[in-house]
Amino acid sequence: MLDGLSEYCAEALAEHGCPSVSMAVAERGEVVCAQAYGMADTAAGIPATPGTAYGLASVTKPITATAVCVAADEGLLDLDAPVPGEYRWVAPTVRQLLRHRGGFGAHYDFHYGGGERPIDAGRYSVLYREPGSGFEYANLGYRIIGQVLEEATGQPLEKFVRERVFEPLGLTGCHIGPEYPGAAPSAVRYTVDGRAYPARCDTSHPGATLGWATAPELTLFAQSYERLLKPETAAAVRDGLPFNAHLGYGLGWCVSRGGDGPLVQSHGGGMGGVAAMTVAVPEQHLSVAVLTNSTSKAARDAIVQYVLGELVPRHTSERIDPVIRDAARPLDLPVGAWAGPIGTPEGEVPIVLRLSADGRVELRLNGESAIAPALASEAWDLKADFPLQLPTADARINSPRLGLALRLVDGRLTGVAHAYKNGDGEGLLGNFLTHPCELRPR
């Protein structure tokens, strides 16, 4: 059924400017297709092969979740126990963090060994909502999960995962860490315009982000991980609480909801020079992995949809699409000025917002100002994005833009301010830092 795969992959790489792809299909515990196309290293002219390891980005999360479930089955930790720490509300549980319902905000941080200072993510591990009250994808939760696992097992995260997940499944090419170890081949990671990332990329949330695998071994993991778990724990993994119209999030996996096709488990990942996805269809004893070495997800997505369309009955893209739709609506805030602080780990930063009658908003910050369209959505009463940098040491590392998402509550605009970088079209992918923000009419 995949007779046209080679031509399709070649066309997708060319169309989307992606250096290479490695893909594999496993069925009933055996790899039945493993192909690679393009260049793992464009400068050295090294082609990709099925044995080339790729970064996994957030496809690391199902691996970390499996390790946590193994530890829970062995009585080393309790999925429903609150995690250590001081929080605004009751502490979230391990299960809530695995499901992205722990109350943390969006965050990622990367450093590439070029002398930049690592972000202290502990300063951003504050709750933005009550645990269990809603879904918000949170690397910070998986950071804490990794720390809980290390404390419970007395082993570093990567060592426990290797010994209790990878080795029992015979996965010798998988790894968690800032770079791929030893002399085994790994794909060089590239920006959207073809510049190479350094071989090493570290982060404060390794259990969320720093996995490596070959495509054949990733397919085998997706199909066989539950062999390591008690039946009731394996069932809990697929107990996905809904977060959009078609998907729920279980213990480390997106799980399809409704529709007339088979149940599908999936997880995608993206970071600087990485776009990865793995999919499992338990009813068919089938799994798929597609790994690319570009920040752009376009080639990955096209190839995933092609393969699943060939192999999975009644497949639709919605069954693996984790996007949460937040439909636009007319802005209905009154014209005028709002003032208040953005809360940062270094202290409060005052800002002034001025809404004008032409539907634009001006932001004044640290003696600078910028004007942007004022938007609203189902979730937020005001959304705006500005080419202004938050004047903190963390934001100055690699987060030159500021985005605001605010709700009108009891006469105040309250929500979050994101310091971030918009992709890697210039330089390398930056950090995404979430801060509380509250403004009052001026």
Give pTM, 2 decimals: 0.97
User: Residue 412: its pLDDT value, please?
Assistant: 97
CATH code (residue 395)? 2.40.128
218 and 350 belong to one structural domain: no
Given 258, 290, 319, which residue is the final one in a domain? 319
311 and 194 belong to one structural domain: yes
User: Residue 128: its pLDDT value, please?
Assistant: 94
211 and 143 belong to one structural domain: yes
Instruction: Going residue by residue through the chain, which has 442 residues, state the pLDDT in tens, using 9 for 90 and above.
Output: 788 999 999 999 999 999 999 999 999 999 999 999 999 999 999 999 999 999 999 999 999 999 999 999 999 999 999 999 999 999 999 999 999 999 999 999 999 988 888 999 999 999 999 999 999 999 999 999 999 999 999 999 999 999 999 999 999 999 999 999 977 899 999 999 999 999 999 999 999 999 999 999 999 999 999 999 999 999 999 999 999 999 999 999 999 988 788 999 999 999 999 999 999 999 999 999 999 999 999 999 999 999 999 999 999 999 999 999 999 999 999 999 999 999 999 999 999 999 999 999 999 999 999 999 999 999 999 999 999 999 999 999 999 999 999 999 999 999 999 999 999 999 999 999 999 999 999 9
- Helix then strand count (H, E) for the chain reads 10, 22
Domain coverage including residue 408: 328-441
192 and 58 belong to one structural domain: yes
User: Residue 215: its pLDDT value, please?
Assistant: 98
290 and 176 belong to one structural domain: yes
User: Residue 359: its pLDDT value, please?
Assistant: 93
Given 286, 319, 352, which residue is the final one in a domain? 319
Report which of 390, 359, 354, 363 is spatially closest to residue 376, judged by C-alpha positions.
Answer: 359
Largest CA distance in the chain: 65
| Spatial distance between the Cα atoms of 417 and 414, rounded to a whole number of angstroms | 10
Report which of 171, 183, 184 is spatially closest to residue 49, judged by C-alpha positions.
Answer: 184
DSSP track, 250-313? -SSSEEE-SSSS---EEEEEEETTEEEEEEEEGGGTEEEEEEESBS--HHHHHHHHHHHHHHST
User: Residue 184: its pLDDT value, please?
Assistant: 80
Report which of 116, 346, 84, 68 is spatially closest to residue 225, judged by C-alpha positions.
Answer: 68
Eight-state DSSP code of residue 333 = P
297 and 257 belong to one structural domain: yes
User: Residue 411: its pLDDT value, please?
Assistant: 95
User: Residue 400: its pLDDT value, please?
Assistant: 97
190 and 105 belong to one structural domain: yes
CATH code (residue 141)? 3.40.710.10
- What share of residues in the chain are helix, strand, coil (percent, to 5)? 25, 30, 45
User: Residue 259: its pLDDT value, please?
Assistant: 79
167 and 28 belong to one structural domain: yes
Q: Please list the residues that pair with 407 across neighbouring strands.
A: 414
405 and 281 belong to one structural domain: no
27 and 64 belong to one structural domain: yes
Give how many domains the chain has, as a whole number.
2
User: Residue 261: its pLDDT value, please?
Assistant: 86
Given 276, 301, 319, which residue is the final one in a domain? 319
153 and 289 belong to one structural domain: yes
387 and 273 belong to one structural domain: no
